[in-house]
Structure 1
């Protein structure tokens, strides 16, 4: 059986992250590579897990949230609890992002008003 393995450097290069980031995720309990002496040995499952960590990060999930999902998955790979938790987390993340979007729109409107007033005042100063 030919099981593909990766060194930390290979995994870092393949996913365009630093070995330090991978070690950090390991310290946080998100990855658990095997050891051969002092070297870490990663398998395809570790690469998949790392991709999920990075996707979660892009989506704004904390490492604690990602760890919770991994723990649910590890305890039961076809877990209703895992899916329900993921749905709750995505609903909450969406709610938070919509609030941020509203806040940004409000700030953009305020900036538009300030910009408009500045232009009007500059025009008035330029043409007394």
Structure 2
């Protein structure tokens, strides 16, 4: 099995020499001065304050939306997605029926009307 860390070097001395060169090239300290770091910190704090304000605004909007949904009258079902799924399945089934019976354009035009009637009855 090869040593991944030393692959590409013929000997340990080559590896040590390469690591020493990398260490010499690397700066000991961050080249940026204290002022630049302070500006970055201030910008980050402003961003955090802005995000907190956005979260507060979104929470406020959420409570308004929740209040509106509680005021809505019930439509007989607590699962509106079930009604949508039922209507979609009915449309598909009627479409397949029209296709099998070969009713043509008149039958295809009747499918949306029948589905509309079913939707009104489900409300």
TM-score using structure 1 length: 0.37
Query: Looking at CA atoms only, which structure, 1 or 2, has the larger radius of gyration?
Result: 2
Structure holding more helix per residue: 2
TM-score (norm 2): 0.39
